[in-house]
Structure 1
Amino acid sequence: MCYVLGIDLGTSGVKVLAVRQDGKVVAEATREYPLLQPYPGYNEQNPEDWVQQTYLAIEEVIQKTGIDAAHIQGISYSGQMHGLVLLDDKGNVIRNAILWNDTRTSQECKNIEETLGEELYEIAKNPALEGFTLPKLLWVKNHEPDHYSRATTFLLPKDYLRYRMTCKLQMDFSDAAGTLLLDVVNKQWSLTICEALGISIDLCPELVESHHCVGNITEEVAKRCGLSSSTQVFAGGADNACGAIGAGVLSSGKTLCSIGTSGVMLSYEEHDERQYNGAVHYFNHGKQDAFYVMGVTLAAGYSLSWFKDTFAADATYESLLAQINKVPAGSNGLLFTPYIVGERTPHGDSTIRGSFIGMDASHTFNHFIRAVVEGVTFSLREALDILRESNHEINHIYSIGGGAKNDNWLQIQANIFDASIQKLENEHGPSLGAAILASYGVGWFPTLEDSVNMFVMYGETFYPQLDQVEQYERFYRSFKRIYSDTKAVNEEIKTYRDNCN
């Protein structure tokens, strides 16, 4: 029997998945690495940590299964989007990677918008936000000119990991779309954007399709990990594109809700027909010549992990979520906005901060847990509304990530979204999508859809409950007011905080 590996390079750790040709997941391994936060708003990682932890995870998977390395035919990748890795002319990393959740680039974003105006939306299809790669590149140019002058290419996180395993420099379209440097529809680096901002287009690597074979594992890496140098390596895709593939979102009308560290509401699109004007993200899919639109809540699962670590460090997520059904829908009027690291959709605001609104002496610990869950889901509903208002008919949503591991939360999603919510029987998120790309790349299946049909198994469906749908509508109207009503206060607080620092 033959195998492929799907590698998902996430924000907190790397996950390696081994999948057999008949679609069975035979093993997985996860390794964590640290997040570096030298200053407020800074989020970095050492790319060497990604590499070494991935090698250890691959070794663990092989040891668990006893797979003959010669039978691992392909490897592909999924990765955290937007992170900036700069390489010098010898292929060495110049500085730590600046991650998607880093917020130091507000001025650079303002400069991009002022310089390009509507042309940015016409070409890159997305606004200039702190999370994207181009503002980070400009920040290094402005604040670390010595580092910038040494750079000969930039990569995104999973592309650097793949480079280390193959010595090949490429980037796939789905991840390149999140840089703000790609002409998304024409699938080429934008000379217009580069020239307007004084960025050399030579820094941009070769572009390839997600299922493209970029080469083979090097002899050195093969020996280090227990692999074979005959193993083919495929480009892979952005984590959200791979998450969509891993959930079977490959045709019009298919929609995905993913609640991990961040949260995503994503819907498939084949053509550049609708005009979103930056209200949601518009990216190339991991499926060739397809696109997807996506709204993002920056602190989705992270809001829950922040709450747990701060107020119930010894509790498990399972024990916390088991309590939320003891509290009625709407948490007795307690609302939470998950803006604890700023927000992406629909506000695009790095200054806004989270709130608990409506607290009174009747609220217990369990009310706060449910309010966090509901607040994250309300925030994703705002992205869903934008898609529906743009003529996406969305009545059925696939749910993956941490939010799909608890039936209570799945039912809350069904009620707040007013849509049926279906979980996956074998939910492995972006790592499964990466494995599917590898299986298609090595030729196991004639189409990506055929590979999905073999690999993806769907589970239970949760349906909206009319009485709770109506109740949530009332609380949702109040939730939507909180951003505008607290925006000025948060801007004032940021000024005070910055002066203290």
Structure 2
Amino acid sequence: MLLLGIDLGTSSVKVSVVDAATRQCLASVSYPDVEREITARQPGWAEQDPRQWWLDVRQAILQAHATQAYDPQAIGAIGIAYQMHGLVVVDEHRHVLRDAIIWCDSRAVPHGAEAFEAIGPERSLAHLLNSPGNFTAAKLAWVKAHEPDVYARIAQVLLPGDFLALQLTGAATTSISALSEGIFWDFAEQELSEDVFRFFGFDKNLIPPVQPVFTAHGAVLAAVAEELGLRPGIPVTYKAGDQPNNALSLGVLEPGEVAATAGTSGVIYAVTDQLFVDAQSRVNAFAHVNHTADQPRLGVLLCINGTGSLNRWMKSVAGPQLSYPEMNERAAIVPAGADGLLCLPFGNGVERMLANEPVGAHLHNIDLNVHTPGHLLRAAQEGVAFAFRYGLDIMRENGLHPTVVKAGKTNMFLSPVFAQAFANATGLTVELYQTDGSVGAALGAGIGAEVYATPAEAFARMERLQTIAPDGETAIYEAAYQQWKELLLSRLQSGKKLAAQPREGDAPSGVRFVEAFLPQQ
């Protein structure tokens, strides 16, 4: 039996076909070849067209078939991983009503803040484990307030993965894990949140039927199967957000285990059996893929919006002619600490770990006689590592003290500079594995289809490729991090002063595209 995994990212869609018996990936395809753009009609906004997602999924599946590495008719189950916290709304005919408001969109922050105060911080944290922030429920509130004609036509509210499953099967479902990432779920009452639905004035009928993560979420429609060369009736047996799925793909399922990823966004994801709460909602807890009321499994998620996105931007500015491996080689020539050049990587929407303050991205201490494009490239990767350290310290404040983190050897972890900087800045030992989100989604489908008796069985043959421990340069990184942190705190304070004194002609808060890369004196 073969398993098909779909990973809906921000930049592209990746699909993999895995042999269920051997756990070997037979084919893996990403589509498109160039990164999909994010539509930003105003600063701080971020949207994508769900219909384009579906077109990309279809093309990726057909290109995977074209490798002729397997028999498409042998595919027996499908799993889906997807970018978290997005809002997709469809009408009664299941037609998309507007572009999806995706994870890094900041417009709903005021709606989330109002809900947090109205529900009450203590009750909100005790029941939701988070402030509504700019998560899916708050995004729906923005649509209700600013696009009432659209809101009136909504028949169902979907997360991005729910939408893809709907296109494949014609059936809409969701899960506690998905509802928790949208801040629709009450963990204390184990039901849809009365507080959230009452405050925002939402109808609970907008939410699809709630099912376990690992179960049949519908069967592939005959017309879709014919177009995609699949057998009709294949079940979609797994759906999860990209970060819970990344943890699953690394076998991170039990309390104390930790996963990391550094794709478009960067994440540390720690599993706990406690109903974890950060009083300022800087790091967030959601139901993990194996969460149940009897055996709680929460994923505590630290998110940095601008990791791979910063790396891509810096490449386009400092080395557009270079491949990513060549870019990493240029960065490696520069000494640790980038000769004093510091980079704040916060240029992709407001950051929850910075209390939703719009800091923007910045380069600091540029010396025109010293710093080269290689310095820019290294400073960007070190800046991301320092952002991980800053967020990890928040997790440590809340009683989480990991020593080892698992990651797939992909995205920014392909860079030796970044991987070592991450280890040195955080003090964590990094274990790199041969896996990715689409393979994890495929194996998740196998769990849902009961090919494997347990999730642990599905990942029993996972291969560790490399271990990276902090080395002799930790003192250099610690000194550089303290300078970086001082710069960040000064920018945070400056941002608060500016917010308190708005000036005529000020742009809305959000991504500072122009100011972001000017040196600060």
- TM-score by length of structure 2 reads 0.90
Report what 2:420 is aligned to.
411
Pair 440,393 (structure 1): closer, same or farther in 2 beyond 3 Å: same
Once residues 415 and 504 of structure 2 are traced to their aligned partners in structure 1, the CA distance between those partners, rounded to angstroms, is 37
- Once the two structures are TM-superposed, the CA of residue 70 in structure 1 deviates from its matched residue by 3.3
SS at match of 1:170: coil
SS at match of 1:453: coil
Runs (5+) with no aligned partner, structure 2 = 509-521
Alignment of 1:70-149 (within 5 A): 70-118=73-121, 119-130=123-134, 132-149=135-152
SS at match of 2:183: coil
- Once the two structures are TM-superposed, the CA of residue 353 in structure 1 deviates from its matched residue by 1.2
The Cα offsets for residues 56-97 of structure 1, whole Å up to 9 and x where unpaired, read as 111121221353333111001000011111111222111111
Report what 1:475 is aligned to.
480
Alignment of 1:306-385 (within 5 A): 306-360=313-367, 361-385=369-393
Q: What is the one-letter code of the residue matched to 1:356?
A: L
Partners of 2:177 and 2:287 within 8 A in 1:
yes
Once residues 380 and 192 of structure 2 are traced to their aligned partners in structure 1, the CA distance between those partners, rounded to angstroms, is 40
Partners of 1:209 and 1:288 within 8 A in 2:
no
| 1:387 aligns to 2:395 (yes or no) | yes
- Once the two structures are TM-superposed, the CA of residue 211 in structure 1 deviates from its matched residue by 0.8
Q: What is the one-letter code of the residue matched to 1:486?
A: R
| 1:485 aligns to 2:490 (yes or no) | yes
- Once the two structures are TM-superposed, the CA of residue 491 in structure 1 deviates from its matched residue by 5.7
Q: What is the one-letter code of the residue matched to 1:384?
A: L
Report what 1:152 is aligned to.
155
- Once the two structures are TM-superposed, the CA of residue 404 in structure 1 deviates from its matched residue by 1.4
Pair 368,273 (structure 1): closer, same or farther in 2 beyond 3 Å: closer
| 1:261 aligns to 2:243 (yes or no) | no
Once residues 26 and 144 of structure 1 are traced to their aligned partners in structure 2, the CA distance between those partners, rounded to angstroms, is 45
Mean Cα displacement is larger for which, 491-500 or 435-444? 491-500
Q: What is the one-letter code of the residue matched to 1:125?
A: L
Report what 1:5 is aligned to.
4
Once residues 493 and 65 of structure 1 are traced to their aligned partners in structure 2, the CA distance between those partners, rounded to angstroms, is 58
Partners of 1:297 and 1:343 within 8 A in 2:
no
- Once the two structures are TM-superposed, the CA of residue 185 in structure 1 deviates from its matched residue by 5.4
SS at match of 1:216: coil
- Once the two structures are TM-superposed, the CA of residue 249 in structure 1 deviates from its matched residue by 0.8
Runs (5+) with no aligned partner, structure 1 = none
Alignment of 1:407-486 (within 5 A): 407-424=416-433, 426-428=434-436, 430-454=437-461, 456-465=462-471, 467-486=472-491
- Once the two structures are TM-superposed, the CA of residue 374 in structure 1 deviates from its matched residue by 0.7
Partners of 2:357 and 2:495 within 8 A in 1:
no
Q: What is the one-letter code of the residue matched to 1:397?
A: V
The Cα offsets for residues 181-205 of structure 1, whole Å up to 9 and x where unpaired, read as 1124554211221012211122122
Mean Cα displacement is larger for which, 105-114 or 367-376? 105-114
SS at match of 1:36: coil
SS at match of 2:480: helix
Once residues 354 and 249 of structure 2 are traced to their aligned partners in structure 1, the CA distance between those partners, rounded to angstroms, is 28
Once residues 42 and 222 of structure 1 are traced to their aligned partners in structure 2, the CA distance between those partners, rounded to angstroms, is 36
The Cα offsets for residues 199-253 of structure 1, whole Å up to 9 and x where unpaired, read as 1122122222211111210101101100111312113101000000011111222
| 1:299 aligns to 2:306 (yes or no) | yes
- Once the two structures are TM-superposed, the CA of residue 342 in structure 1 deviates from its matched residue by 3.9
Once residues 42 and 447 of structure 1 are traced to their aligned partners in structure 2, the CA distance between those partners, rounded to angstroms, is 41
Mean Cα displacement is larger for which, 482-491 or 193-202? 482-491
Q: Superposition RMSD on alpha carbons, in Å?
A: 2.0
Partners of 2:220 and 2:232 within 8 A in 1:
yes
Pair 372,496 (structure 1): closer, same or farther in 2 beyond 3 Å: farther
Partners of 1:87 and 1:153 within 8 A in 2:
yes
Mean Cα displacement is larger for which, 234-243 or 37-46? 37-46
Q: What is the one-letter code of the residue matched to 1:93?
A: V
Counting matched residue pairs gives: 495
SS at match of 1:282: strand
Partners of 2:126 and 2:188 within 8 A in 1:
no
Q: What is the one-letter code of the residue matched to 1:320?
A: M
Q: What is the one-letter code of the residue matched to 1:474?
A: A
Partners of 2:219 and 2:236 within 8 A in 1:
yes
| 1:181 aligns to 2:184 (yes or no) | yes
SS at match of 2:174: strand
- Once the two structures are TM-superposed, the CA of residue 153 in structure 1 deviates from its matched residue by 1.3
The Cα offsets for residues 229-279 of structure 1, whole Å up to 9 and x where unpaired, read as 131211310100000001111122211121000100111112326665523
The one of 201, 219, 222 equivalent to 2:222 is 219
| 1:61 aligns to 2:64 (yes or no) | yes
Partners of 1:120 and 1:193 within 8 A in 2:
no
Mean Cα displacement is larger for which, 491-500 or 165-174? 491-500
SS at match of 2:213: coil
Partners of 1:222 and 1:228 within 8 A in 2:
yes
Q: What is the one-letter code of the residue matched to 1:24?
A: Q
